[in-house]
């Protein structure tokens, strides 16, 4: 089976870049399948040898047109073309019907996310393009792929003619991420790490800071939170107050080499705490996979659809952020060895294993796919 994965990015973020590099690395070891990844961006910094966006298409709207033209030209060489959706997309109505083997990949509930990020007439125009017009444009869509079951099901209801509904969670190349052999301290407070390139509202940092500030002194003294990334202006006053008391440590933006000792000294990691602000119950974030690969158990408030529902080293707190429950989650683990955490997570976070499962979903109907299709009809 020959697969082409195409994505257009205005500017590649570090997480997006890592995910694409993991995918390209894993593709080289696939058996009975050829997988090419083409990353298109007007930015000069690229990740592969796919087509370069020409000078005339450096404006992002024209780059969207160039991306569609590239897919139309190359689609016949592949059994499946996976396209990371472009939102908003004024060209889908003209181009999508020309590609019979097109599958769209969705990383969010796009209409809801765009509604949060736009306003006024721009919002109305965007929602028109993402609403009925896009549903009509994708009337011949072969399949819908979501990074979570929740997103796959949501988008498949937007595009009801799609014959295939599949999932493609994020994954990583474990070979490129060695686990630290450092032994965390067994006395004193638990050290937790919370990493985000920018702590946007859906990361829920405000909820964590409030929970820390409102906790009893003996609870505060049991946990130190290391924040890695850029805080927004409104988050800084409380974060700095807590930092002055030693409850929080502000590291700012770090390179991977600078982050290594922070991860090595941590005993638990914190993932997104407010995805409900994006109308999401599930996620499959790259950061969780990097935490687990580093041997860190993860505390969060959302389900991770790429992990088993009762995975020992991932705790979804359905009651909201609680410092007491972060501490209890850590203390309740029988085996906290980093190597144990990593090996338990391996089948669910290894990029090549995830790609193989997607290929099987595309080749033949599976029980998983059938369940999603039944859910769409219900």
Residue 180 within a domain:
no
The reply to whether 9 and 158 lie within a common domain is yes
* pLDDT tens digits along 309-362: 899 999 999 999 999 999 999 999 999 999 999 999 999 999 999 999 999 989
Q: What's the structural domain count of the chain? A: 2
Q: Which residues form the domain of 275?
A: 190-349
The reply to whether 340 and 358 lie within a common domain is no
The reply to whether 124 and 57 lie within a common domain is yes
The pTM of the full predicted model, rounded to 2 decimals, is: 0.81
In this structure, what DSSP letter does residue 137 have? H
Q: CA 251, 257, 259, 264 torsion: positive or negative?
A: negative
Closest listed residue to residue 354, CA positions, set 14, 13, 29: 29
How far apart (Å, rounded) are the C-alpha atoms in residues 152 and 368? 12
What is the mean pLDDT for each group of 10 consecutive residues in the chain (378 residues)?
92 78 89 92 70 87 93 96 88 91 90 72 78 85 93 90 90 83 76 95 96 85 95 96 95 92 95 91 92 96 92 96 96 92 95 93 65 60
The reply to whether 198 and 342 lie within a common domain is yes
Residue 179 within a domain:
no
The reply to whether 162 and 206 lie within a common domain is no
The reply to whether 126 and 162 lie within a common domain is yes
Residue 18 within a domain:
yes
For 126, phi and psi rounded to 5 degrees?
A: -65, -45
* pLDDT tens digits along 66-99: 999 999 999 999 999 999 988 888 898 889 999 9
The 10 Å Cβ neighbour count of residue 320 is 13
Q: What pLDDT does 367 receive?
A: 47
How far apart (Å, rounded) are the C-alpha atoms in residues 172 and 166? 19
Residue 181 within a domain:
no
The reply to whether 265 and 365 lie within a common domain is no
């Amino acid at each position: 089976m020959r697969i082409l994965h195409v994505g257009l990015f205005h500017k590649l973020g570090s997480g997006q870049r890592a995910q694409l590099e993991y995918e390209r690395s894993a593709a080289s070891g696939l058996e009975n399948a050829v997988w090419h990844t083409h990353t298109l961006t007007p930015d000069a910094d690229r990740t592969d040898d796919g087509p370069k966006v020409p000078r005339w298409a450096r404006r992002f709207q024209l780059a969207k047109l160039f991306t569609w033209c590239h897919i139309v030209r190359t689609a016949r060489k592949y059994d499946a073309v996976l396209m990371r959706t472009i939102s908003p997309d004024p060209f889908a109505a003209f181009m999508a019907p020309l590609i019979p083997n097109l599958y769209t990949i969705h990383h969010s509930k796009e209409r809801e996310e765009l509604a949060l990020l736009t306003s006024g007439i721009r919002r109305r125009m965007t929602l028109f393009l993402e609403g009925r017009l896009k549903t009509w444009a994708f009337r011949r869509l072969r399949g819908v792929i979501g990074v979570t079951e929740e997103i796959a099901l949501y988008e498949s209801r937007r595009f009801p003619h799609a014959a295939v509904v599949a999932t493609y969670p994020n994954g990583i190349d474990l070979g490129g991420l060695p686990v630290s052999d450092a032994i965390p301290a067994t006395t004193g407070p638990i050290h937790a790490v919370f990493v985000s390139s920018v702590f946007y509202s859906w990361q829920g940092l405000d909820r964590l800071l409030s929970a820390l500030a409102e906790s009893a002194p003996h609870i505060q003294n049991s946990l130190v939170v290391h924040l890695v990334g850029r805080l927004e202006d409104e988050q800084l006053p409380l974060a700095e107050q807590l930092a002055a008391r030693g409850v929080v440590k502000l590291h700012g933006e770090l390179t991977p080499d600078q982050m290594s000792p922070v991860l090595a000294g941590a005993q638990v990691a914190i993932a997104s705490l407010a995805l409900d602000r994006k109308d999401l119950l599930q996620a499959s974030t790259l950061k969780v996979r990097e935490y687990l690969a580093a041997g860190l158990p993860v505390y969060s408030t959302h389900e991770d659809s790429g992990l088993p529902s009762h995975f020992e080293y991932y705790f979804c707190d359905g009651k909201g952020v609680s410092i007491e429950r972060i501490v209890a989650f850590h203390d309740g683990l029988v085996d906290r060895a980093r190597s144990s955490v990593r090996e338990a997570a391996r089948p669910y976070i290894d990029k090549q294993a995830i790609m193989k499962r997607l290929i099987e979903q595309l080749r033949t109907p599976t029980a998983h796919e059938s369940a999603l299709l039944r859910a769409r009809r219900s």
